[in-house]
Amino acid sequence: MLFEILTLFPDMFAGPFSDSIIKRAREKGLVSIRFVNFRDFAGDKHHTVDDAPYGGDPGMLLMPGPLAQAITASRERLDGRSPKVVCLNAQGMPFTHTVAESLSRETALILVCGRYKGIDQRVIDKYADMEISVGDYVLSGGEIPAMIVVDAVARLIPGVLGNSESAGRDSYFNGLLSPPQYTRPEEFEGMKVPEVLLSGHHENIRKWQKEQSEKITKVRRPDLWKKYNKNVEC
């Protein structure tokens, strides 16, 4: 999987992509990440990429020219991979596990990081295949959302995780939140590991975990619980 990230601040990614799972995935050649600073596509001597929005709203907006040129250059460079262009902004569709699964089946993604007040709509209308939001809040730019997308998608690529079953037991994978998890020691500050997890009885353990997942999801995420119940009934 190749990620090409269009951003004004490529240095922001150095730490998150240089450690842990993403680092190992890059070393194995399972994930490749490249950065394009779209300021390099600005046509004036000051490398201007933003301007005041029409309509009198406060703040600055990313101009269409530099971004359009950067996306076109990336598409041409990745032509054989048929890259999907994803704009990261607060107006996008919610980023969910289902979306991550879908994106993990692509061979290349171009992630466009918005900044300031956002991106000129004409770029989105003509060049974007989809828009993604990582939550109902506003961030300073699309860089952190891009990190989230890369991490969530990369872990679903075969071979990236050391234990291939690990992702399948994460929250959201089956529509439920994960059950409580425990490790050694068996007793910590007076609190003991549930006996069922020490029993070695795999069917009882599976049943307990499912019950716990359902209980937690029902209380903490009634929206997920409603969707899960509907799917079960079907």
Residues in the chain: 234
pTM, two decimals, is 0.90
Q: What is the SS3 assignment for 182?
A: coil
β-strands 130-133, 32-36: how paired?
unpaired
Position 160 in a domain: no
Domain boundary among 154, 183, 210: 154
Range of the domain at 141: 2-154
Q: Which residue has the tokens 């040129």?
A: 69
Contact in structure between 177 and 211 (CB atoms under 8 Å): no
Cis peptide bond prior to 10, omega within 30° of 0: no
φ, ψ at 176 (rounded to 5°): -120, 160
Residue 167 scores a pLDDT above 60? no
Give me the pLDDT at residue 163, please: 65
Same-domain status, 146 and 215? no
Q: What is the mean pLDDT of residues 192-207?
A: 97
Same-domain status, 125 and 196? no
How many separate domains does the chain show? 2
The first and second tokens of residue 73, run together, are 């250059």
> Hey, which residues does 187 pair with through a beta bridge?
192
Same-domain status, 113 and 15? yes
Domain boundary among 122, 154, 186: 154
Same-domain status, 9 and 90? yes
Q: What is the mean pLDDT of residues 147-169?
A: 83
Rounded Cα distance, 116 and 119, in Å: 8
Give me the pLDDT at residue 162, please: 76
Same-domain status, 149 and 175? no
Same-domain status, 51 and 131? yes
Between 103 and 231, the more confident residue is 103
- pLDDT, tens digit, 9 for 90 and up, residues 23-52: 999 999 999 999 999 999 998 999 999 999
Rounded Cα distance, 98 and 231, in Å: 14
Give me the pLDDT at residue 168, please: 53
Average pLDDT, the chain: 94
Domain boundary among 126, 154, 182: 154
CATH of the domain at 111: 3.40.1280.10
